[in-house]
Amino acid sequence: MKHCTSKKPKLYCGIDLHTKKSYIYIINEQGTKVKSKEIDTEEQTFITFFESLIEENEIYSAIEISSLTFQYCNILKAIGISVYVVNTLKNAYISKSMKKTDKEDAKRLAISLWKEILPEPVYIPSEKEHSLRKLISHRADLVKSRTRLINRIRQRLREKEIKIPLRTLNKTKKIEPVLKSISSETQPILHFEISHMFEQFKLLEKQIEQTEQLIHSQINKDADFKEMYNLLLTVPGMGKITSAAFISRVGKNIERFKNVRKLISYFGQCPKIRESGGKTIGNQGITKQGNGMLRGYLSQVAIAALRSKSYNSIPLKKWYENIKRRKGWKKARVALSRKIAAICYGVLIHKRPYNPMLVTGENKCEKPLITT
């Protein structure tokens, strides 16, 4: 964090944020402790703690990434405190410390901020981007609940030697005949269980539909989101939800990624590199340090592109087959999902739709794939 010149004394604050209690450690420009305290993780408690300090000081704060981070970033910014969000995995000073307590973590954050040795800050999404992220995550949770319910129904039917194809249980209209085929007289317990699970299934279907409608409504209300959304839909395999999830993670300012390699790294799709004595140690795979849900969506996009019969997907299929012959289908599929992420970066950074004529050669991420 670049410290701007000000007549006010500067204070550096480390915040170890948790659900119930948070620890705050503050030092001055000389690195001397000013104040430290464990407080309740509540908005008013934070405001009360800082109100006596903010009037006479310029406060910089460092806070670890967590589920509550972005909420409290907005609270701290509202009272005039600069916020630096830290990725703990990249901050070895804390993550590899032998003495790991809330107080020590907060202290190290404050000292690292004062010394300007913290890693690159985590991007803080806008309120609209954060809301879209929450809706995407909520839908993903609902879909997981529906999948678990389908598996429960199928398992219960198997116990009674009733074999049903998995695809039969994906839609309400397909489950109804299954329920009718189970007699309430000869198999009352099974009929009772399946009917209850069927009601839960219908509720989940309705909730998923409502969530998707709200997601699309949020995108249509914002001109920038809508433009990005329409561009992403031109990429083979990219559906409505995947496009919305992509937008929620990269945000409106796609230029914050200096090149496509930065984006690939942000998604955790870069290969791990481990070398010692000039030799590569094992097959490390990809880093997987980004958002796992979006990485999974991009893998599904790759599969959808391979199954597609449209003209636009033909170059991607040829590119995939070339990698597959040399490295196998597993690595080829991961490479294809990475390729698609690079294409998405290209269409967004240049604001031009996907052009299948430019999908050639190897996966050189430094040259984004765009239209002419």
pLDDT digits (tens, 9 = 90+) for 72-96: 999 999 999 999 999 877 776 666 6
Spans of the chain, pLDDT less than 50? 361-372
Measured at the CA of 12, the angle between CA 10 and CA 15, to 5 degrees, comes to 150
State residue 94's pLDDT score. 62
* 267 alpha carbon, distance to own chain's centre: 8
Question: Structure pTM?
Answer: 0.83
Instruction: Give the integer Cα–Cα distance in Å for 15 and 220.
Output: 37
Is there a contact between 369 and 343 (Cβ–Cβ < 8 Å)?
yes
Please give the single-letter amino acid code of residue 350.
Answer: H
State residue 364's pLDDT score. 43
- Give the E-state strand segments of the chain in sequence order: 10-16, 21-27, 33-40, 58-64, 82-86, 275-276, 279-280
C-beta neighbour count of 6 within 10 angstroms: 9
Is there a contact between 263 and 250 (Cβ–Cβ < 8 Å)?
yes
For the chain, how big is the Rg over CA atoms in Å?
25
DSSP string, 172-215: HHHHHHHHHHS-TTTSHHHHHHHHHHHHHHHHHHHHHHHHHHHH
State residue 6's pLDDT score. 56
pLDDT in tens, 321-351: 999 999 999 999 999 999 999 999 999 999 9
Is there a contact between 347 and 370 (Cβ–Cβ < 8 Å)?
yes
Instruction: Give the integer Cα–Cα distance in Å for 336 and 308.
Output: 14
DSSP string, 33-48: EEEEEEEES-HHHHHH
Report how many helices (DSSP H) and strands (DSSP E) the chain contains, helices first. 13, 7
State residue 52's pLDDT score. 86
State residue 3's pLDDT score. 52
State residue 370's pLDDT score. 43
Is there a contact between 25 and 110 (Cβ–Cβ < 8 Å)?
yes
Instruction: Give the integer Cα–Cα distance in Å for 220 and 230.
Output: 10
